[in-house]
Amino acid sequence: MTPTSDTTAGSPGGPAPAAAGAAAAPAAPARRRSTDLIVKSNLLLVFLALCVVATLLAPEFLTTRNVANLLQQSALTGIVAIGMTLVILTAGIDLSVGSVAAFGGMTVALLLDHDMNILLAMGISIAAGAAFGAAMGGLSAYLSLPSFMTTLAGLTAIRGLTYLLTDGEPAGGGSIPEGFQLLGGGFIGYVPIVGLIFVAVTVLAALLLRGTTFGEYVYAVGSNKEAARLSGLPVRAVITAVFAISGALSAFAGVLLTSRLTIGQPTAFEGMELDAIAAVVLGGTNLFGGRGGVFGTFVAVLLLSVLRNLCNLLGLGSFFQMVVTGLILVAALILNRVIEQRGARA
């Protein structure tokens, strides 16, 4: 009788459940990828719908000049938000991006004011931003300090250092080379160069995340830091690196702003960290890390810029814009959570 019971492979009590479990295992990542795709597509559809509404309400919205200005204005926030996306993917946060951007802009202005080579001045400014980011990321990674607190301290200290550079006064007025001005204020045809830089930064970041081992490490650390550590991944180095990248991109944005304004402003980028975080969250990146990407952030930056641009074209005040932006962020969070829950139940 025993052999008979052992041969009931087709019975409900046989190995069929194990086979079902094995089939379900690879289905989980597939559901996760589908969920991510739905979130990103949702945002893209909302963006396109908003563009249609903007065109109907304000015919001048689709003019070449307005579209170029829109891309130029969104590029700096977008570059900072791309760096913020990498940090948040590791379950961190960087509140210092605005201060680092202002420092980068002031530094390049001062260096150019002393007739330094343009590329060298830019390199030093961006390297300083990367160093600030690496320092804050290293404190968070190696001393187990909350990134919220380390970067909050950086926000204050680096902004103060920026003011100290020129005693709170603008720098570089009238001494910015024309070649440097083209970087932030120039056009190729009707397309602003800074907009092309934003696109290039987004593409490079996407390739870094999806096409390299480092990108895999970023997602692994954000999904489960302890599991990544036990698997032998260089968790601390990865966290330090993403903060360094965020700092470098923030300083680069500051350099581009100085190029466009032809002057370094110590008060620039105040509140930029909130705009960057808003774009990352609206783009579908999980604040707790491990899920999201730069494409969603790219679309979210454009969506927020279109919204503000439409409000300006309609003559609506900044207070109204703040209310609408906040409501859209809440709606996006609720929508993303609903999609995630449905994906988990699928």
Q: For the segment 129-140, what is each residue's pLDDT rounded down to a tens digit? A: 999 999 999 999
Q: How confident is the model at residue 9 (pLDDT cuts 50, 70, 90)?
A: very low
Q: 36-77: per-residue pLDDT in tens?
A: 566 557 788 888 888 898 888 888 888 888 888 889 889 999
Q: How far apart are the C-alpha atoms of 110 and 264, rounded to whole Å?
A: 8
pLDDT-derived band at 315 (thresholds 50, 70, 90) equals confident
Instruction: Identify the DSSP state of 191.
Output: E
Q: Considering the entire predicted model, what is its pTM?
A: 0.85
Element (H, E) at 200: helix 193-211
Q: What region does 93 belong to: left with phi over 0, alpha with psi -120 to 50, or beta?
A: beta
- Gap between the Cα atoms of 136 and 95, Å rounded: 10
pLDDT of residue 21 exceeding 60, the answer is no
CA separation for the pair 276, 295 (Å, rounded): 14
pLDDT digit string, tens, across residues 195-251: 999 999 999 999 999 999 999 999 999 999 999 999 999 999 999 999 999 999 999
pLDDT at 7: 43
Q: Looking at residue 34, what is its pLDDT?
A: 61
Question: Band of the pLDDT at 8, cuts 50, 70, 90?
Answer: very low
Q: What is the pLDDT of residue 11?
A: 43
Instruction: Output the pLDDT for position 190.
Output: 87
Please state, in angstroms and rounded to a whole number, the distance separating the CA atoms of residues 340 and 287: 14
Radius of gyration of the chain (CA): 23
- Residue 191's DSSP bridge partners are 188
pLDDT tens-digit profile of 251-298? 999 999 999 998 999 999 998 998 999 899 888 888 888 888 999 999
Give residue 317's pLDDT band: very low, low, confident or very high (50, 70, 90): confident
**Cα 240 vs. chain centroid, distance in angstroms?**
16
Give the pLDDT score at 206. Answer: 96
Of 74, 76, 77, 92, nearest in space to 244 by CA: 92
Out of 27-36, 119-128, 324-333, least confident range: 27-36
Averaged pLDDT of the chain? 86
Quick one: pLDDT at residue 168?
Answer: 86
Q: How many CB atoms lie within 10 A of CB 243?
A: 32
Amino acid at 248: A
Percentages helix, strand, coil for the chain (3-state, rounded to 5) are: 80, 0, 20
Tokens of 291: 């899920």
Q: Which has the minimum average pLDDT: 153-157, 210-214, 328-332, 337-341?
A: 337-341
- Mean pLDDT is lowest, of 44-53, 101-110, 154-163, 310-319, for 310-319
pLDDT of residue 346: 57
Amino acid at the residue 328 = I
Span of 23-32, 35-44, 314-323, 337-346 with lowest mean pLDDT: 23-32
What lies within 8 Å, CB to CB, of 239 at 6+ separation is: 90, 92, 137, 140, 141, 221
Give residue 246's identity as a one-letter amino acid code.
S
Residue 212 has a CB neighbour count (10 Å cut-off) of 11
Per-residue pLDDT at 69: 87
* pLDDT for 26: 54
Using alpha carbons only, give the angle 140, 123, 72 rounded to the nearest 5 degrees. 90
Sequence spans of domains, the chain:
76-293
Q: What is the pLDDT of residue 42?
A: 76
Q: Is 66 left (phi over 0), alpha (psi -120 to 50) or beta?
A: alpha
> What distance in Å separates the CA atoms of residue 81 and residue 304, rounded to the nearest whole number?
12
Report the range of poorest mean pLDDT among 26-30, 69-73, 172-176, 230-234.
Answer: 26-30
Residue 119's pLDDT band (boundaries 50, 70, 90)?
very high
Predicted confidence (pLDDT) at residue 316 exceeds the cutoff of 90: no
Over residues 328-346, mean pLDDT: 70
Instruction: Decide if pLDDT at 170 tops 70.
Output: yes
**Nearest residue to 249 via CA among 69, 89, 94, 71:** 94
pLDDT for the residue 331: 76
Residue pair 97/274 in contact by the 8 Å Cβ criterion: no
